[in-house]
Amino acid sequence: MSTGGSARAPGITAAEVCRAFELGKEAQELLQPALLPRPYLDLLIGHMLYPDAARFMAHAMPKREAIWWACLCARKVYGPSPPVKAAGALQAAETWLAKPTDEQRRAAFKAGEAAEFNNPAGLIGMAVLFSSGSLAPAGQAEVLPEPHLAANAVANAVILAAVMTDPGQANAHYAQFFEVGFEIANGKNRWK
């Protein structure tokens, strides 16, 4: 999602991105047929519709960039010493980002499962599993994930991260998160 369009496909509209998930009523009212993703995201943020904006950003970004965004948001709220299982899940997801093999994808999911899916790190592990490849065990008939599932898990991780430590600071967290998301979308913040 660059300044004028989307990283997914040039000229894609915000309405096309929104087909993959459900918007809140106020966010639906702001959506115009020809509106491009960045201006629509700016409208959502300007109207303080932060959960809708997080969902939109997660779906507008390519999957790996969205997962990187969720990792950085989670790291901001977990701080320098996340719980052991959360740290393991984040590390596994970041390893997959650097080396997106099926083995690393499944390892990231296992680490997310160990961290549990009620926190950002666990949801990020789920997003990695849903990003590509089969959901079936290795050697079984391929079962592909629905295209929107990775972005849904990313959005839930980001929304949960915003309220996890101090719900009263959610707006401040969202502001930081969107800033990081724009950096990633513009190619200025990449995984190692």
Q: What is the pLDDT of residues 52-71, one digit of tens each?
A: 999 999 999 999 999 999 99
Q: What is the pLDDT of residues 63-108, one digit of tens each?
A: 999 999 999 999 999 999 999 999 999 999 999 999 999 999 999 9
Helix (H, G, I), strand (E, B) or coil at 161: helix
Q: What is the pLDDT of residues 5-24, one digit of tens each?
A: 334 556 799 999 999 999 99
State how far the Cα of 97 lies from the Cα of 67, in Å rounded to an integer. 8
- With 90 as the cut, is the pLDDT of residue 1 above it? no
State how far the Cα of 31 lies from the Cα of 28, in Å rounded to an integer. 5
Give the global pTM: 0.93
- What integer pLDDT is reported at residue 11 of this predicted model? 76
Confidence band for 3, pLDDT divided at 50, 70 and 90 = very low
Q: What is the pLDDT of residues 109-139, one digit of tens each?
A: 999 999 999 999 999 999 999 999 999 988 8
- What integer pLDDT is reported at residue 139 of this predicted model? 86
State how far the Cα of 72 lies from the Cα of 133, in Å rounded to an integer. 24
Helix ranges (DSSP H) in the chain:
14-18, 25-30, 37-46, 50-60, 63-78, 84-98, 102-115, 120-130, 149-164, 170-185
- What integer pLDDT is reported at residue 7 of this predicted model? 43
- What integer pLDDT is reported at residue 56 of this predicted model? 98
Query: Between the CA atoms of 142, 146, 147 and 149, what dihedral angle is there, to the nearest 10 degrees?
Result: -120
Q: Which residue has the tokens 């295209």?
A: 147
Average pLDDT over residues 160-188: 96
Higher pLDDT: 5 or 158? It is 158
For 93, 101, 119, 142, 170, the CA distances from 180, given in Å and listed in that order, are 18, 26, 20, 35, 15
- With 50 as the cut, is the pLDDT of residue 164 above it? yes
